Amino acid sequence: MQDLERFDDRTWRKLFVFLLPDEKKMTRHEVEVELQHLGIDTRPGLARLQQGLEKMAAVCDARATLAAAKGQRLPLLAKLHGMASKVSSLTKEDLRQAIKDRFSGTARAAFFRKLDSAASEADLRSLLADMSKLDTLAEESDDAEP
């Protein structure tokens, strides 16, 4: 085939149709057989594709988790802000009554001891924060039960 230009495009197309299979009309098995015949192994490529899909799924899950956490953040910050503003207006008697109302047993005794030893406003804030944390944990465990 020294003079390739002596045939027109139509003739070349007919030759290629004759020599090469039409992939559109081939079954999957026929394609796999043809690839094997040509010495092409598709397994490594398919494995990389599967890994990529798994990574994309993990990224989507992580983004959904992040979005859920962002949705919970603002209400939680508002709740913390509300607790902080309560501290400045509470007296020791208010805290004593709150301890009586909320806790019993050893938890009540521990909070009364901490209240009696509170010497500053920072100590009272710490006491109220501990009480609020216990309330929050109790609420979360109530929400988790069916």
Does 79 or 1 have the greater pLDDT score?
Answer: 79
Place of tokens 């598709």: 42
More confident residue, 104 or 141: 104
Under 8 Å between Cβ of 92 and 115: yes
CA-to-CA separations, 126 to 51, 55, 120, 132, 137, in angstroms, rounded: 49, 44, 10, 10, 16
What local confidence, expressed as pLDDT, does residue 107 receive? 77
3-class DSSP assignment, residue 28 = helix
Per domain, the residue ranges of the chain are 90-146
Residue 146 clears pLDDT 60, i.e. is over it: no
**Is-contact 128 83, C-beta < 8 A?**
yes
Helix, strand, coil percent values for the chain (each to nearest 5): 85, 0, 15
Q: What is the mean pLDDT of residues 118-125?
A: 70
How far apart, in Å, are the Cα atoms of 49 and each of 28, 29, 34, 42, 57?
18, 20, 21, 11, 12
Percent residues over pLDDT 90 in the chain: 14
DSSP letters along 106-141, please?
A: HHHHHHHHHHHH--SHHHHHHHHHHHHHHHHHHHHH
Q: pLDDT averaged over the chain?
A: 77
Cα–Cα distance, 139 to 76 (Å, whole number): 13
pTM above 0.75, yes or no: no
Angle in degrees, 0-180, between the axes of helices 121-144 and 43-89, rounded to the nearest 10: 130
* The token pair that represents 43 in the structure block: 């397994």
